[in-house]
Chains A and B, each alone.
Chain A
Amino acid sequence: QQQVKQSPQSLIVQKGGISIINCAYENTAFDYFPWYQQFPGKGPALLIAIRPDVSEKKEGRFTISFNKSAKQFSLHIMDSQPGDSATYFCAASRDAGGTSYGKLTFGQGTILTVHP
């Protein structure tokens, strides 16, 4: 059972354009929503994360938009650059302070290609 659904599977954007990747979740107990970025030959690395008490978080060119009622969140990459070409994973975790041990449920991944 896939609890976090991510789309699209792949995305091609021109340099300077906006990249948008969407995720939807089912479990309303999720309380932490990170995005991980993975370059070829490397492990994923945390890019940006949001909690459900805010609707948006921005770090440089990267923004997470969060819609709690719709159970959806998205990553926006402004002014996309060829160096942003990577695989992006959304994820979700639940039960802060409980016994989840920070386990993450990942989406299926999006391969982003930014053309020069």
Chain B
Amino acid sequence: DVKVTQSSRYLVKRTGEKVFLECVQDMDHENMFWYRQDPGLGLRLIYFSYDVKMKEKGDIPEGYSVSREKKERFSLILESASTNQTSMYLCASSYSLRGTYSSYEQYFGPGTRLTVT
């Protein structure tokens, strides 16, 4: 069964702290994504990675960085957490396009609700 796991379901951090969110997938997917989910704004892409050590900025990368040292693991880093980064963070993974549209399907983890005080 497809599985994407995230290191924490709930996290409370203080302003200025460095925060690490971890995501692991067991499907040998090439692509991994980090989104934040906010009411009324939907899911917004922060960063994604299409291969080990490869990454590209999404729509809202400011204040975030990522790391992908192994294929199955994708980390989101908040260098200096701020209150406006309080949100639900979702990780997802997918296969690279292999000639069929079904390859677009993204599999999501359960999310980490981060509160920055």
Q: Give A residues with C-beta under 8 Å from B.
A: 6, 9, 32, 34, 41-46, 49, 51, 89, 93, 96-97, 101-109
- Asked if A44 meets B97 with Cβ closer than 8 Å, knowing A101-B50, A102-B104, the reply is no
Whole-angstrom CA separation of A106 from B40 in the bound complex:
11
Whether the pair B42, A109 counts as a contact (CB closer than 8 A) is: yes
Chain B residues with CB under 8 A of A34: 104-105
Chain A residues with CB under 8 A of B106: 46, 102, 104
Whether the pair B43, A44 counts as a contact (CB closer than 8 A) is: yes
Chain B residues with CB under 8 A of A6: 42
Chain A residues with CB under 8 A of B43: 44, 89, 104, 106, 109
SS class, residues of chain A in contact with chain B: loop
Q: Is the CB of B94 closer than 8 A to any CB of chain A?
A: yes
Chain A residues with CB under 8 A of B35: 106
Whole-angstrom CA separation of A71 from B41 in the bound complex:
20
Number of interface residues of B (CB under 8 A): 31
Nearest chain A CB to B1's CB is how many angstroms away? 12
Whether the pair B4, A102 counts as a contact (CB closer than 8 A) is: no
Chain A residues with CB under 8 A of B48: 101, 103
Q: Which of B26-40 contact A (CB under 8 A)?
A: 31, 33, 35, 39-40
- Asked if A93 meets B42 with Cβ closer than 8 Å, knowing A43-B111, A101-B96, A103-B48, the reply is no
- Asked if A49 meets B101 with Cβ closer than 8 Å, knowing A101-B31, A101-B96, A109-B42, the reply is yes
- Asked if A96 meets B45 with Cβ closer than 8 Å, knowing A101-B31, A102-B31, A108-B40, the reply is no
Nearest chain A CB to B16's CB is how many angstroms away? 29
Given contacts A49-B101, A102-B94, A103-B33, 20 further A-B contacts (CB under 8 A): A9-B40, A32-B104, A34-B104, A34-B105, A41-B110, A42-B111, A43-B108, A45-B108, A46-B105, A51-B101, A97-B97, A101-B50, A101-B56, A102-B31, A103-B58, A105-B45, A106-B43, A107-B42, A108-B40, A108-B41
Chain A residues with CB under 8 A of B90: 43-44
Nearest chain B CB to A57's CB is how many angstroms away? 12
Nearest chain A CB to B106's CB is how many angstroms away? 6
